[in-house]
Amino acid sequence: MEFNLLDKQQEFLKLLELQGKSFNTVKNYKADLQCFNGFLLQKQENLKLRSFSSTQVQEYSSYLDQKYDSPNSVRRRVQALRIFFDFLLGQNLFPDNPLKQMAVSPKVLDLPSPTNFAEVLKTYQFLKEKLKNAEGLGQILASRNVIIFHLIYGAGLKVSDISQLSFSSIMKDKNGFRVLVEHPKRDPYSIPLPVAFNQDFQFYKLNYLQFLKQESLEIDHLLFNSNPYKILSGGLSPRGTELFFEDLRKNLKTKITAKSLRQSCIFKWLNQNVNHATIKEWLGVTPSYSLELYVDELKKDPSLFVFREIDPE
């Protein structure tokens, strides 16, 4: 049975969205499938598939090896295509998954590349200065950005964790606050937030809720998406958080990303001698996840990885 490959890819990507996959995850799958399309077009084959032979599998493997230097890049594209062919298999368009014949190298773990503490501190001070000089909705937006900083550097959250937090996710603790992280396929867990979060959160909550009341908006999400003139929706998508970091990089001439700031948080916890099991719990990873790359980097030159909590103002 011949079918239009692009149509099926759109169906597949739509299914990922319906399953709750993040914007970045769907975007990466799309890029990986476009790589496969490029291979077919280079072979002067159209994008209507009837079969995908073992010979074509070997040719695609060679194509990827020539196109990408990183084994992880090759591995990701093979895995994405394998999952896509499982989708086609489920629609009875293929008798089996041809990508299962394709061997790939094991995943290579990249060395941590955290934002150094001087840059972390500079970022926080920049965000606080923006807040000090803002007013109206701009002030609430600046205050929201300070909270994003705390959630990543203070609690090590991923952008996907941040996107759907509500005010009920921030729980009072004897030492301040904790953030509750809930996933549909695992038990919820909470992470302590630093002391500097306390005052920044109280300011944000008071002014944000007051603004919502004035505008007759009913939003329970902790964060929000807005333009310079109005709040557009509750919640902040992973893409929205990435745009926030893009602005930081432009303004501060830095390489900071959500990932690098999260890695800074991990080194901070290691410096505080938090045990590895607790760090893994807070990161939301399995007990088998290894922190050895972080430990090894810390041992090589401890002076490069000195991180501490931000002092409250």
- 186: which strand partners? 183
One-character DSSP codes across 188-206: EEEEEPPHHHHHHHHHHHH
CA 163: distance to chain centroid?
Answer: 10
CATH, domain 3-101, list 3.30.1180.20, 3.40.50.300, 1.20.200.10, 1.10.150.130: 1.10.150.130
Sheet of strand 176-183: strand arrangement: 170-173, 176-183, 186-192
User: Boundaries of CATH 1.10.150.130 in the chain?
Assistant: 3-101
pLDDT tens digit sequence for 82-130 = 899 899 888 888 888 888 777 665 555 668 999 999 999 999 999 999 9
Per-residue pLDDT of the chain (313 residues; tens, 9 = 90+): 577 888 999 999 999 888 877 777 888 899 999 998 898 888 767 677 777 887 888 888 888 888 887 777 888 888 888 899 899 888 888 888 888 777 665 555 668 999 999 999 999 999 999 999 999 999 999 999 999 999 999 999 999 899 889 999 999 988 899 999 997 767 899 999 999 999 999 999 999 999 999 999 999 999 999 988 899 999 998 889 989 999 999 999 999 999 999 999 999 999 999 999 999 999 988 888 889 999 999 999 999 999 999 988 7
User: Boundaries of CATH 1.10.443.10 in the chain?
Assistant: 117-305
- 233: which strand partners? 225
The CATH H-level (homologous superfamily) assignment of domain 117-305 is Intergrase catalytic core (1.10.443.10)
Q: What pTM was estimated for this model as a whole?
A: 0.72
DSSP H helices in the chain = 5-18, 23-42, 54-67, 71-90, 117-132, 136-149, 159-162, 195-214, 238-252, 258-271, 276-283, 292-300
